[in-house]
């Protein structure tokens, strides 16, 4: 909605609450969200360019500015230094890399958690990086508001970013045309009346745009090679812990 008001790049940092029964070492019910949304002009890869440069700058900056703090963490939780390059693969290239190494992955289905980890290892071996981007996910693996690939509607203009074989953010080009948005909601069996205000916002006119939401604690967990995300939050909230 803010982009409709001619602010071409926006972000927010704040608490995010997720009512999900996810009892894993990488999920929290409350975490710090870094949300970014931006207009692009030619291709949604403009978003990937900006985000990749941002992450590489952050990771390199941590080594330069916080070497003492990282050394302290490493003394208690030893970890390998984080390797970071600007590597971008299509989803279909990722599936092929898995297949070439003997792993099965349906090209029209989302990656399993196990295949994500395997792919992270294969990318590390091939490109010498712990950080990479995967774009062009299958349509049935993405929400209704994700823009379809104009060349193949089995895929979408979407992307995930990974650190050490684990996803740190999902994003996509959003559908900005109200009629198409309503159509895709219907396909996903979402009653249009329940999201009418959201759809109406685009009737004022909105440029092509996209963005992502980043979980800060998960980024810290993976950068520092810490096994459990609860070690990266001062007061971790999960399905079994509310206080303190």
The runs of H, that is alpha helices, within the chain are 45-65, 67-76, 91-100, 113-127, 178-187, 196-201, 216-223
**Choosing from 170, 177, 233, 237, which is the catalytic residue?**
170
d(CA 244, CA 234): 10
| Residue 114 among the catalytic residues | no
Q: Check: CB of residue 147 under 8 Å from CB of residue 183.
A: no
Q: Check: CB of residue 209 under 8 Å from CB of residue 6.
A: no
**Choosing from 18, 88, 92, 237, which is the catalytic residue?**
18
Q: Output the six-digit token pair for 55.
A: 């992450």
d(CA 134, CA 68): 32
d(CA 215, CA 220): 9
Q: What is the pLDDT of residue 27?
A: 93
pLDDT at residue 5 tops 90: no
The total of other beta-carbon atoms located within 10 Å of residue 62's CB is 17
| Residue 43 among the catalytic residues | no
| Residue 46 among the catalytic residues | no
| Residue 188 among the catalytic residues | no
d(CA 186, CA 199): 12
The domain limits of the chain are 3-232
Confidence at 26, pLDDT banded by 50, 70, 90: very high
| The domain made up of 3-232 is a member of CATH 3.30.930.10 | yes
**Choosing from 174, 184, 209, 218, which is the catalytic residue?**
218
Return the ∠ at Cα 53 (arms to 83 and 7), rounded to 5°: 150
| Residue 151 among the catalytic residues | no
Tens digit of each residue's pLDDT (9 = 90 or more) over 64-108: 999 999 999 999 999 999 999 999 999 999 999 999 999 999 999
Tens digit of each residue's pLDDT (9 = 90 or more) over 171-229: 999 999 999 999 999 999 999 999 999 999 999 899 999 999 999 999 999 999 999 99
Side-chain-side CA neighbours of 91 within 13 Å: the count stands at 23
| Residue 20 among the catalytic residues | yes
| Residue 27 among the catalytic residues | yes
pTM: 0.93
**Choosing from 116, 167, 184, 209, which is the catalytic residue?**
167
Confidence at 28, pLDDT banded by 50, 70, 90: very high
- Torsion 40-43-47-50 (CA) sign: negative
């Amino acid at each position: 909605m803010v982009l409709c008001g001619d602010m071409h790049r926006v972000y927010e940092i704040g608490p995010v609450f997720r009512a999900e029964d996810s009892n894993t070492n990488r999920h929290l019910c409350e975490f710090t969200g870094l949300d970014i949304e931006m207009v692009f002009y030619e291709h949604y890869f403009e978003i990937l360019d900006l985000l990749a440069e941002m992450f590489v700058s952050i990771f390199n900056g941590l080594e330069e500015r916080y070497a003492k703090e990282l050394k302290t963490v490493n003394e208690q939780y030893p970890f390998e230094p984080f390797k970071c390059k600007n590597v971008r693969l299509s989803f279909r290239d990722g599936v092929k890399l898995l297949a070439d190494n003997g792993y099965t992955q349906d090209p029209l289905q989302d990656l399993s958690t196990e295949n994500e980890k395997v792919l992270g290892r294969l990318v590390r071996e091939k490109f010498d990086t712990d950080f990479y981007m995967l774009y062009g996910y299958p349509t049935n693996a993405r929400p209704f508001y994700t823009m379809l690939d104009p060349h193949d509607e089995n895929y979408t203009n979407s992307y995930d970013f990974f650190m050490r074989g684990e996803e740190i953010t999902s994003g996509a080009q959003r559908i900005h045309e109200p009629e198409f948005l309503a159509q895709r909601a219907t396909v996903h069996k979402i009653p249009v009346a329940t999201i009418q205000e959201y759809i109406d916002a685009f009737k004022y006119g909105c440029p092509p745009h996209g963005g992502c939401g980043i979980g800060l604690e998960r980024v810290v967990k993976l950068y520092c090679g810490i096994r459990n995300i609860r070690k990266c939050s001062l007061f971790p909230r999960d399905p079994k812990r509310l206080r303190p």
